[in-house]
Copies of this chain bind each other. A is one copy, B any other.
């Protein structure tokens, strides 16, 4: 129910019944590689275009999450899904075969947070017994959409991030007897757009950090907690540059996050070895890290409670070329061990 100014507390917390992660070769070679369910060596995923590849990845992740939960697609009432592409085409073509009523979401790289919030809200309210929440990105579709043709071989500054080829999908369901041991979504802090005027699209960490700070502070205030309440506070894809800004800004407001802070973009690659500069990004970055790295630790009991905050940089090539700033958004989700 309503908690503070912007948050929701789930008194009967919905469970994450299963999760599945699919990713590309580079992600498979990264630190989380051995924990990703399927590492596909063909970046085209057997299709004819990058976009179809991303759709195929979504479908595969959803199917695997359903299989792990032991349910069929007709047992899922709603789908909450999104990607980075204009008009969400990876999702439109990825979700069509699921034949599940769908809510298309766009929150840039924060989409998995948005999908978890709405999925948990829907299940908790009794509108559905089970929903699927997923988000994806693909390095090649994102480069094509936002930057340069791959063959151009452009150079990137160290503040730039590398778009993750990957999809994470979870089945969220009522916390009944089937859900024993499953992580629970106990709270949500949907974020607002924050625009401090950052304009460098090669430094999205700086553009998103203030939004993440806003959401974390809102979460602390609404739930009456601080950093000691969480085993980990995990942002989506701030990368090395955004991480520094976030830690500085939080320190200025009296919170030292040094010992609990983690960023999916930093975890998913070994940036020195893999030449990914500031880290990973894209909707798939936090979605894959959630499924491959975070949820397993909540299942094993290594962590008891995390604040998961996928972060999004709200820009398009049009807004960038017109000289607009890059607003950020970040959606917070509290996940506890089952």
Contacts and interface: CB of A to CB of B under 8 A. Distances in A.
Interface stretch (A30-38, A83-91, A261-269, A295-303): A83-91
Main secondary structure of the interface of A (DSSP, over half): mixed
Interface string A52-77: 10000000000000000000000001
Given A92-B314, A190-B103, A126 B319 contact: no
A138 interface: no
Contacts of A315: 87, 89, 92
A195 B104 CA distance: 16
A105 interface: yes
A127 B11 CA distance: 12
A249 interface: no
Nearest to A74: B5
A198 B85 CA distance: 21
Number of copies: 2
Interface in A68-123: 77-78, 82, 84-89, 92-93, 95-96, 98-108, 114, 117-118, 121-122
A41 to B, nearest CB: 23
Given A2-B77, A77-B6, A89 B316 contact: yes
9 contacts: A1-B126, A2-B126, A6-B101, A87-B314, A96-B193, A96-B327, A102-B191, A106-B106, A125-B125
